[in-house]
Structure 1
Amino acid sequence: MQQRMLIFAMGVLLAMSTETSANGLDFEALVSEQGAVSQLPSLLRFDARDGTALSYRHYPSDSPTALVLLHGSGTDSKYLATFAQALADAGAAAVYTPDVRGHGPSPQRRGDIDYINQLEDDLADFIYHIKAENSAISSIVVGGHSSGGGLAIRFAGGEYGHLASAYLLLAPYLGHDAPTVRNNSGGWAEPSVAKIIALSLLNRLGVTSLNGSTVLRFNLPAEYRNGSETLAYSYRLMTGFNPSNYRDDLRSINVPSLILTGAADEAFFADRFESTVRPHVPDAAVVTVPDTSHLGLLVSEDGIEAACHWLQTFGKF
């Protein structure tokens, strides 16, 4: 059996090495998003089940819907400010943007977590916190951008998926083997493929002691760094931030869902989401915003309008 696993791993290695990496993402869109930093809500805290105080931002609204919006890889909740504030101002949802464990200005351990499923536990704890803090909330939408969308999909397929009333997935990362993903996410990510394969095989054999090893790095140009970025992930953080199995996880979504992408996405093939998602989530709404990049999706007026409309109507479907 171990020999068959090794042959499979070599096949994955070859498949992941056949394309040439692109130059990366358009970070000018990120700069424009961070223009709203002066208007950022202050960081608040909630206690996860292990006693760790984790950070989040809250964009209040009178809406009975709460949207938990998860940021993508390498960064934190700041860059979601424009999108989150617009939804709250429109009355579409009260928006909460947590700094995922291992990220943010001062994480306990940057780029690492304690065990693979810890981010799902944290998200469940955060939802319980929101419900306890605001009894007027009647619907919880779990959403995310890029890897944050991948975590939302993982959450849907896990033990806490029932906590979500709907899912809002913004250019979600489905996994390295999904047809929607460009090689190395368009040059943004640099995985240590051989190390990932070796650790994956060890985990299948029950060996997890090396899961703190760094296996993934991100190409954030120096001019866009401010000290709060997270430029490398351990194996357990990388794995826990991704869908467990995107097909199975997507099939677990039996509530309203919106997949929103930008037609000019540099990390993913926007035109492949419809055919990839539809077989597993037949009732999902799939919307592509013209002339919009991966990061630009979060400041696109058309994208924000589509998300607002969906949030205000999903309960009527």
Structure 2
Amino acid sequence: MTILLAIAKFAAISACIYLAIALGLIASQAPNHKFTAEGLKFPDRKRNPIKAPEASIYTARDGAELAYRIFPSGVEDAPLLVFVHGSSAHGAPYAGFAQKLAQSGAADVLLPDLRGHGLNIKHGLDVAYIGQFEDDLADLIAQHKKPGQKVVIGGHSSGGGLAIRYAGGAHGADLDGAVLLAPFLKYNAPTLRPNSGGWAHVPLRRLIGLVMLNMAQIKVFNGLTAIQFNVPEKVKQSPTGRLMRDYYSFAMNTSYAPRNDYLSDIAKLPKFILVVGQQDEAFVADQYAPLMQGVTQKGRYEILPNVSHLAVTDEDITALYVAEYLKGL
């Protein structure tokens, strides 16, 4: 009995020390970083403004009514492409890319505003649980997929990371393809430049503390800010920039990215295409293929010369490559 009490006492003390360290790390670093350098190069769309169609609404499993935009191809056997915007953003800026694909007959395209983004900020600025984005996308697909229609998940930047996460999760088996434009793979992947090229700042001590608590299944602090984004003031004042986010909670940021074993998620991707600019400020373009080919041979990789991170979605050649891929499914 004495030995058991000693073991229980040791375990209790160890747990308290563990929790104290985690909480101390969280408290030691507030998310108040001030960006002093330029981050991503935002394209100037004043001369050719993107005209996004009016948003439609679908109902998620928790009853939330979420906004998205529809770009029908008019082609009977075209696949359904659900394309996810990057971090901080929303679906409207990707209207030009979606329209090119739809008009070419390559796919019926849906551009959702993720929960907590764009027109959906009225439902709050966070997810209720890690993985809710995946469930929301599955609900959108279920409400739009025609009988026998192929389903493709896609995304740009963090949206590409979410597409990879989706493929590796509970709904991944339903996919027929994936479109990845300069996707985020993971903070420790060789594709990532420091601080995503000046786009993001992570309060590292706070993040480590939150990860420690989640490893202990303590999730009460998951709503705390875990990443900040360098959104220029002039962008915030633009028509589409007014709806951009400049921070995420731990739960939202985790939901947006592949799992810790990101190579496992990558290995579960269906046939996919990956397009990235050679001049991408956030990611190292020539590191994708060597890394991902180590776990899957299902990918096609295209590197665009003289193209930056945000410009990759505007390039006509990107739409041409993706349309060619979609028509070949």
Alignment TM-score, normalising by the size of structure 2: 0.85
Letter in 1 for 2:252: L
2-structure distance, mates of 1:110, 1:270: 35
Gaps of 5+ in 1: 11-20
The residue correspondences of 1:72-221 to structure 2 (distance < 5 A) are 72-131=86-145, 134-135=146-147, 138-221=149-232
Task: State the alpha-carbon separation in 1 of the partners of residues 322 and 113 from structure 2.
Answer: 21
Q: Distance in 1 between matches of 2:39 and 2:126?
A: 23
Is residue 48 from structure 1 mapped to residue 63 from structure 2 by the alignment? no
Report the AA paired with residue 248 of structure 2: Y
Contact 1:59/1:95 (<8 A) preserved:
yes
Among all aligned residue pairs of Structure 1 and Structure 2, give the percentage whose two residues are the same amino acid: 36
8 A contact 1:22–1:186 mirrored in 2: no
Bigger radius of gyration, 1 or 2? 2
Counterpart code for 2:294: P
Aligned to 1:61: 73
Query: Counterpart of 1:303 in 2: which secondary structure?
Result: helix
In structure 1, the residue matched to 2:265 is 249
Query: 2:224 touches 2:249 (CA, 8 Å); kept in 1?
Result: yes
TM superposition shift of 1:105: 2.9
Q: Tell me the CA shift for residue 4 of structure 1.
A: 10
Shift, 1:109, TM fit: 4.7
Match of 2:276 among 261, 275, 285: 261
| Cα displacement (A) at 1:62 | 2.2
Correspondence for 1:71 among 74, 85, 88: 85
Q: Distance in 1 between matches of 2:47 and 2:159?
A: 18
Contact 1:211–1:236, Cα closer than 8 Å, also in 2: yes
Q: Secondary structure at the match of 1:32?
A: coil
2:253 to 205, 221, 238: 238
Q: Tell me which amino acid in the other structure corresponds to 2:285.
A: A
Shift of 1:190: 1.2
CA distance in 2, matches of 1:113, 1:152: 17
Where do 4+ consecutive residues of structure 1 move more than 3 Å? 1-6, 33-37, 108-111
Matched to 2:316, the amino acid is: E
**Structure 1 equivalent of residue 4 of structure 2:** none
Q: Return 5+ residue gaps in structure 2 as ranges.
A: 1-13, 26-35
Residue 83 of structure 2: SS of its match in structure 1? strand
The one-letter amino acid of 1:182's match is R
Q: CA deviation at 1:32?
A: 2.1
Deviation at 1:193, TM superposition (A): 1.2
> With structure 1 as the length reference, what TM-score do the two structures score?
0.88
Root-mean-square deviation over aligned CA pairs: 2.3
Between the aligned partners of 2:272 and 2:18, the Cα distance in structure 1 is: 38
1:18 maps to none
